[in-house]
Structure 1
Amino acid sequence: MIDSHSPAPGPGRPKDPAKREAILAAAQVLFLAKGYEGSSMDAIASEAGVSKLTLYSHFKDKEALFCAAVKATCETRLPRRLFQLADDCRIEAVLLAIGLAFNALVNSPESIGLHRVMVGMATQNPALVRMFFDAGPQQLLSDLQRMFAEVDARGLLTIAEPLRAAEHFCSLIKGARHFRLLIGYVEAADADAGSDEAHVRDVVATFLRAYGR
């Protein structure tokens, strides 16, 4: 079940950003190594080198910390600047940059491990799984949806349904390799950077053919 503890403390000294980062890093390590249920707030505080009081001053409960860790990982690997269209942008280059970043994120050992944890939690804690999806995958889809709406408005591509186009793009990038990684059929180390880039370039070319004006 979702771990809920005492409410966040009231106003006090300003929070230390470095400690917040240390807590998020520790949470990512433990959630991947021991799963959500196997990672206590005590253990995360110890791993981060902070007191339990400091941990709760940043995150009110384990649920909030988990969602923040997922969101931080996505924002680091897929920064918002990738979805900002310059006046003179080439849409092919924009899609290639996003595709390469997403491909690297979704197929990384950390992401594969987290997805496996969420699959295991699907029947035990569906509320947490929904929160994971909203904090990570849904955020990416929303960013793409907004960008594709702007792409259509500028006449760069013809995209009548931006959300559907976002789902198509992500599904094409993940392809069959992502599933092979999830079930352990192959390992991430088996692929090389050249094959990853060739895959993403092929996806972008296919997407442009489908939505080109």
Structure 2
Amino acid sequence: MKQWLEGHPKARLMARKRAAILDAAHREFMAHGFAGTTMEAIAAAAKVSIMTLYRHADDKEDLFRTVIAETCERGLDAGPADRGSGQALPLDEALQSHAMRFQTQLASAETVALLRAVTVETGRFPDLAESTWQAVIGTHRDAMAAFLAHREETRSLGAEERDRLATVFLDRLVGTDMLAILLGGHAASDGTQDARARAAATEVIAAIQPYAPGRRLV
């Protein structure tokens, strides 16, 4: 999507229109998908002329790429597993807390809409499929590995083992209900999510126990 230099006389106006266009395009694409969205609908939703819209974006594909990229960067960060979160808690409680927040974010309306929009268009935008996976899962895996690297109980683990445990941890939190959610069903119950969180934390604790003799992990 086109950008204007800060020194451009109309830079502020252009920036406001760009923001309005991206907001409108996000709503349209998330609600109707790529195929069901038109440039005319985006222009109308953004309250700009079709000519103005084309000053900001070359075509619908350009807008779709920008919307997906910005959605990944803005809303799907590694918040549930950032390295500072839960450092004061016992390790098992910190892991369970991360697990619950990850499950909540994975099943959120924003994430589900993003996954639906990209899944339908993987043939057209294969690169966006990869970047979306990285935003939804990869950043959480990397952040969890970093979290383990900064915990006293797991600091002695090698980087490869921390990466493996982070992957195992997230694997245990994604159930078949995620497919149901993508198909319009409901998320797992709070009880199911809590059970998964406890199981994932228990598996990580069991794996690191030999590396932390004498340490209280739970």
Fold in common (TM above 0.5): yes
In structure 2, the residue corresponding to 1:175 is in which secondary structure? coil
Cα contact 1:82–1:97 (8 A) shared by 2? no
Deviation at 1:166, TM superposition (A): 1.8
In the alignment, the residues of structure 2 paired with residue 168 and residue 86 of structure 1 have an alpha-carbon distance, to the nearest angstrom, of 19
Question: Matched residues in 2 for 1:33 and 1:159: separation?
Answer: 44
Which residue number corresponds to residue 179 of structure 1? 179
Amino acid corresponding to residue 98 of structure 2 in structure 1 = I
| Shift in alpha-carbon separation, 1:87–1:120, aligned structure 2, 3 A | closer
Aligned length: 198
Deviation per residue, 1:174-210 (Å, 9 max, x gap): 13332343456xx216x43233223222222222222
> Which residue number in structure 2 is paired with residue 122 of structure 1?
122
Pick closer, same or farther for the CA change 1:64–1:105 going to 2, 3 Å. Answer: same
Deviations 1:52-97 (A, max 9, x none): 56x949xxx522232111222213xx52784315664422222122
Residues 95 and 117 of structure 1: is their aligned pair in 2 closer, same or farther, counting only changes over 3 Å? same
Match of 2:216 in 1: none
Cα distance in 2 for partners of 1:144, 1:175 equals 19
- Give, in angstroms, the shift of residue 130 of structure 1: 2.0
Partner of 2:190: 193
Distance 1:105 1:211 in 2: 27
Correspondence for 1:69 = 71
SS in 2 for 1:136: helix
| SS of aligned partner of 2:176 | helix
Which residues of structure 2 form unaligned runs of 5+? 213-218
- Match of residue 140 from structure 1: 140
Query: How far apart, in 2, do the equivalents of 1:96 and 1:200 lie?
Result: 5
Normalization by structure 2: what TM-score? Answer: 0.69
Larger radius of gyration: 2
Relative to structure 1, the CA distance from residue 200 to residue 155 in structure 2 (aligned partners, 3 Å threshold; closer, same or farther) is closer
Q: Secondary structure at the match of 1:84?
A: coil
Equivalent position of 1:32 in the other structure = 30
Q: 1:45–1:145: structure 2 CA closer, same or farther, 3 Å change rule?
A: farther
Cα distance, 1:211 vs structure 2: 2.6
Q: Which runs of 5+ in 1 are unaligned?
A: none
Identity %: 22
Q: In the TM superposition, what whole-angstrom CA distance separates every residue of 1:127-175 from its partner, at most 9, and x where no partner exists?
A: 2212322343222222222222223xx3347643222222111111113
* AA of the residue aligned to 2:33: G
Q: Structure 1 114/50 Cα, relative in aligned 2: closer, same or farther at 3 Å?
A: same
Q: CA RMSD for the aligned pairs?
A: 3.6
Hey, what does 2:204 align to over in structure 1?
207
